[in-house]
Structure 1
Amino acid sequence: MDISEGLAFMDAEAQAGRLFDNGVWRPARGGERPVIEPATGQVLRQAGIATAEDMREAIAHAAAAQPTWAALAPRERSGVLLRAAQWLQLHVGELAHAIARETGGVIRKGEQEVSAAILLCQLAAGLPVRAQGDVLPSTPGRLSIARRVPYGVVGVISPFNIPLILGLRSVAPALALGNAVVLKPDSRTPFTGGAIMAEMLRHAGLPAGVLQVLSGDAEAGEALVTDLRVPMIAFTGSPLVGRRIGELAGRHLKKVSLELGGSNNLIILDDADLDAAASAAAFGAWFHQGQVCMASNRVLVHEAVAEELKQRLVSKAKRLPVGDGAAERVALGPLIDQRQLERFDAVVKDTIAAGAKLEAGGAHEGLFYQPTVLSGVKPGMRSFDEEPFGPVLNLVTFRTDEEAVELANNSHGGLAAGVISRDVARALAIGERINAGMVHINDQTVNNDYTNPFGGPGLGGNGTSVGGPADIEQYTRWQWVTIKSAPPAYPF
Structure 2
Amino acid sequence: MMAATILGNLAQKQGWIGGWADLGGAVLPVNEPATGELMAEVALANPADVRRAAKAAREAQCAWASLPFLDRAAIFRRAVVVLEREQEELASWIVRETGGILPKAQFEIGSVINLLHEAAAMLTQPRGLILPSNEGTLSYARRVPHGVVGVISPFNFPFLLSARALLPALATGNAVVLKPDPRTPVSGGLLHALLFEAAGLPANVLQVLPGEADAGESLVTDPDVTMISFTGSTAAGRRVGELAGKHLKKVALELGGKNSMIILDDADLDAATSCGAFASWMHQGQVCMSAGRHLVHEKIAAEYVKRMTEKAKHLPVGDPYRENVALGPLITAKQVEKVTRIVTESVAAGARLQAGGTAKGLFYSPTVLDGVTPGMAVFREEIFGPVVAVTTFSTDEEAIQLANDTEHGLSAGIISNSLMRARAIAERLNVGLVHINDQTVQDDGLMPMGGRGSSGNGSRHGGPANWDEFTQWQWVTYKNAPPPYPF
Alignment of 1:41-440 (within 5 A): 41-440=36-435
Structure-1-length-normalised TM-score:
0.97
Contact 1:153 1:230 in 2 (8 A): yes
Alpha-carbon distance between aligned partners in 2 of 1:355 and 1:7, rounded to the nearest angstrom = 49
What SS does the aligned partner of 2:10 have? coil
1:19 aligns with 2:25: no
Unaligned runs of 5+ in 1: none
What SS does the aligned partner of 1:14 have? helix
1:16 Cα deviation (Å)? Answer: 4.5
Cα shift readout 1:71-112 (whole Å, capped 9, x = no counterpart): 011111111111111111111111111000000011111111
What SS does the aligned partner of 1:436 have? coil
Aligned to 2:6: 10
What SS does the aligned partner of 1:312 have? helix
1:350 Cα deviation (Å)? Answer: 1.2
1:299 Cα deviation (Å)? Answer: 0.6
Contact 1:16 1:32 in 2 (8 A): no
What letter matches 2:13 in structure 1? G
1:12 Cα deviation (Å)? Answer: 5.7
What SS does the aligned partner of 2:410 have? strand
What SS does the aligned partner of 2:369 have? strand
Compared CA separation, residues 56 and 15, structure 1 to 2 (3 A): farther
Contact 1:155 1:234 in 2 (8 A): yes
What SS does the aligned partner of 1:67 have? helix
Cα shift readout 1:100-145 (whole Å, capped 9, x = no counterpart): 0000011111111111110011111111110111111111100001
Cα shift readout 1:46-84 (whole Å, capped 9, x = no counterpart): 132111000000001100100000001111111111111
Aligned to 1:490: 485
Alpha-carbon distance between aligned partners in 2 of 1:287 and 1:128, rounded to the nearest angstrom = 35
Alpha-carbon distance between aligned partners in 2 of 1:15 and 1:156, rounded to the nearest angstrom = 25
Contact 1:19 1:25 in 2 (8 A): yes
1:413 Cα deviation (Å)? Answer: 2.3
Contact 2:275 2:439 in 1 (8 A): yes
Alpha-carbon distance between aligned partners in 2 of 1:16 and 1:139, rounded to the nearest angstrom = 63
1:479 aligns with 2:474: yes
Cα shift readout 1:145-185 (whole Å, capped 9, x = no counterpart): 11100000000000000000100000000001100000000
Compared CA separation, residues 167 and 145, structure 1 to 2 (3 A): same
Alpha-carbon distance between aligned partners in 1 of 2:376 and 2:207, rounded to the nearest angstrom = 42
Compared CA separation, residues 411 and 238, structure 1 to 2 (3 A): same
Cα shift readout 1:407-429 (whole Å, capped 9, x = no counterpart): 00000122110100000110111
Alpha-carbon distance between aligned partners in 2 of 1:458 and 1:168, rounded to the nearest angstrom = 24
1:27 Cα deviation (Å)? Answer: 2.2
1:353 Cα deviation (Å)? Answer: 1.4
What SS does the aligned partner of 2:322 have? coil
Contact 1:6 1:203 in 2 (8 A): no
Between the two proteins, what is the percent identity of the paired residues?
54
Contact 1:17 1:31 in 2 (8 A): no
What SS does the aligned partner of 1:297 have? strand
Cα shift readout 1:329-377 (whole Å, capped 9, x = no counterpart): 1000000111111112111111111211111000011101000001111
Alpha-carbon distance between aligned partners in 2 of 1:326 and 1:53, rounded to the nearest angstrom = 37
Contact 2:2 2:86 in 1 (8 A): no
Alpha-carbon distance between aligned partners in 1 of 2:3 and 2:200, rounded to the nearest angstrom = 16
Alpha-carbon distance between aligned partners in 2 of 1:58 and 1:383, rounded to the nearest angstrom = 42
What letter matches 2:142 in structure 1? R
Q: CA RMSD in A?
A: 1.1
1:7 Cα deviation (Å)? Answer: 4.0
Unaligned runs of 5+ in 2: none
Cα shift readout 1:251-308 (whole Å, capped 9, x = no counterpart): 0000000000121111000010001100110000000000001101111000000000
What SS does the aligned partner of 1:159 have? coil
What letter matches 1:381 in structure 2? M
Alpha-carbon distance between aligned partners in 1 of 2:322 and 2:443, rounded to the nearest angstrom = 27
Aligned pairs, number: 487
What SS does the aligned partner of 1:118 have? helix
What letter matches 2:201 in structure 1? L
